[in-house]
Chain A
Amino acid sequence: ETGVTQTPRHLVMGMTNKKSLKCEQHLGHNAMYWYKQSAKKPLELMFVYNFKEQTENNSVPSRFSPECPNSSHLFLHLHTLQPEDSALYLCASSQGGLLQGNTEAFFGQGTRLTVV
């Protein structure tokens, strides 16, 4: 248990569906991240939020829409996905911010997404 909780753990959705992934942390961290993990590829950073403000969008297609209502919660809204979007989506949080240098990131267990 790392203090970062992701739900659901598994999700199967059709290409026309709309679903959301949820991430929650109660570590008091100010930065939260979405990563995509595909087989045998480096983790791909998708989005970064720092103090609820999006500070990074790593050229992610618009069918992925993040939302960060507060420092403890992060969502990833999904719509009209493609089969190649099937992957493990990992949420992480850290105390580090823009002026504080990089510190340890705590990861959730991930949501295994399958697009059919």
Chain B
Amino acid sequence: AQSVTQPDIHITVSEGASLELRCNYSYGATPYLFWYVQSPGQGLQLLLKYFSGDTLVQGIKGFEAEFKRSQSSFNLRKPSVHWSDAAEYFCAVGAYNDYKLSFGAGTTVTVRA
């Protein structure tokens, strides 16, 4: 079965600074990888996804993520954060021929002025 680890529980970053959130997955075959964001009181919104092809994927709100098979990682990045990026971020992994997603525990991002 697949699993996801997000090593950082909480990250604080200054507005305008860069952001990187780590995600490590465990799965025996080629994974389908996702990053979701959850603002307070809201459901999860998909930021980006990786199924195949180019290992650097672009998402909404200026986010990007890079799939590194050798490191079993799918880290999320943003060059310059905005105060509205304060939220909880979840990495998820799915598998071909399956329709379940396994989520990490999430990373809370706080943006300071």
Contacts and interface: CB of A to CB of B under 8 A. Distances in A.
A21 interface: no
Contact of B36 (A50, A56, A107): A107
Nearest to B99: A96
Interface size class of A (residues with CB under 8 A): 20 to 34
Nearest to A94: B99
B28 interface: no
Contact of B105 (A2, A41, A107): A41
Interface in A77-116: 90, 92, 94, 96-110, 112
A94 B104 CA distance: 19
Contacts, number: 67
Nearest to B97: A101
B43 A107 contact: yes
A101 B96 contact: yes
A90 B41 CA distance: 11
Interface of B: 4, 9, 32, 34, 36, 41-46, 49, 90, 94-106
Interface of A: 2, 4, 6, 31, 33, 40-43, 45, 48, 50, 56, 90, 92, 94, 96-110, 112
